[in-house]
Amino acid sequence: MPYDIYAEKIILNYEHPHNKGVLKDADTRFKEYNQVCGDEIEVYIKINNKKIKDIKFIGRGCAISMASASMITDFIKGKSIKEIEEYNVDTVKNILGMDPGPVRMKCATLSLRAIKEAVEKYKLEK
Ligand code: FES
């Protein structure tokens, strides 16, 4: 896929984010900040049988952080806790279909960091 199609996908996800909102019956939640800009994302996750049953997020941030939250939350549904623990920067590049570069990578991984922390918190509390 050419680069501009990936860029278009990011703009679409920024303008029309998927999974935006709060899960009232979430099993775990976590708010993560980007220390550099102060932007934040809070994720709400419902877990069943060690798998992500549902996920939503709220927050504010740049186009990359919001678009990647939309795309990553789509991707994460149905995945196991073990799979999530293994996801990293390369996973985010694959989901976005591009490498946003070292500076924007902190924006792109904001939601994944929140998801990983929420899952870790869930494991500690169980
Ligand atoms: Fe704040 Fe991207 S500039 S998350």
pLDDT in tens, the chain (126 residues): 566 877 899 999 999 999 999 999 999 999 999 999 999 999 999 999 999 999 999 999 999 999 999 999 999 999 999 999 999 999 999 999 999 999 899 999 999 999 999 999 999 998
Predicted confidence at residue 5, as pLDDT, reads: 77
Predicted confidence at residue 4, as pLDDT, reads: 81
Predicted confidence at residue 3, as pLDDT, reads: 62
**Gyration radius of the chain's alpha carbons:** 14
Question: How many C-beta atoms lie closer than 10 Å to residue 79's C-beta?
Answer: 16
Q: How far is the CA of 7 from the centre of ligand 1 (A)?
A: 17
CA angle 95, 116, 108 (to 5 degrees): 40
Predicted confidence at residue 126, as pLDDT, reads: 81
User: Is 5's C-beta closer than 6 angstroms to any atom of ligand 1?
Assistant: no
User: Is 60's C-beta closer than 6 angstroms to any atom of ligand 1?
Assistant: no
Q: How far is the CA of 38 from the centre of ligand 1 (A)?
A: 7
Domains in the chain and their CATH numbers?
Answer: 3-125 (3.90.1010.10)
- Residues β-bridged to residue 21: none
Q: How far is the CA of 65 from the centre of ligand 1 (A)?
A: 6
Locate the ligand 1 atom nearest the alpha carbon of residue 62 and give its number: 2
Owner of token pair 């073990």: 82
Answer yes or no: pTM beyond 0.75: yes
User: Is 59's C-beta closer than 6 angstroms to any atom of ligand 1?
Assistant: no
Atom 4 of ligand 1, nearest CA residue: 107
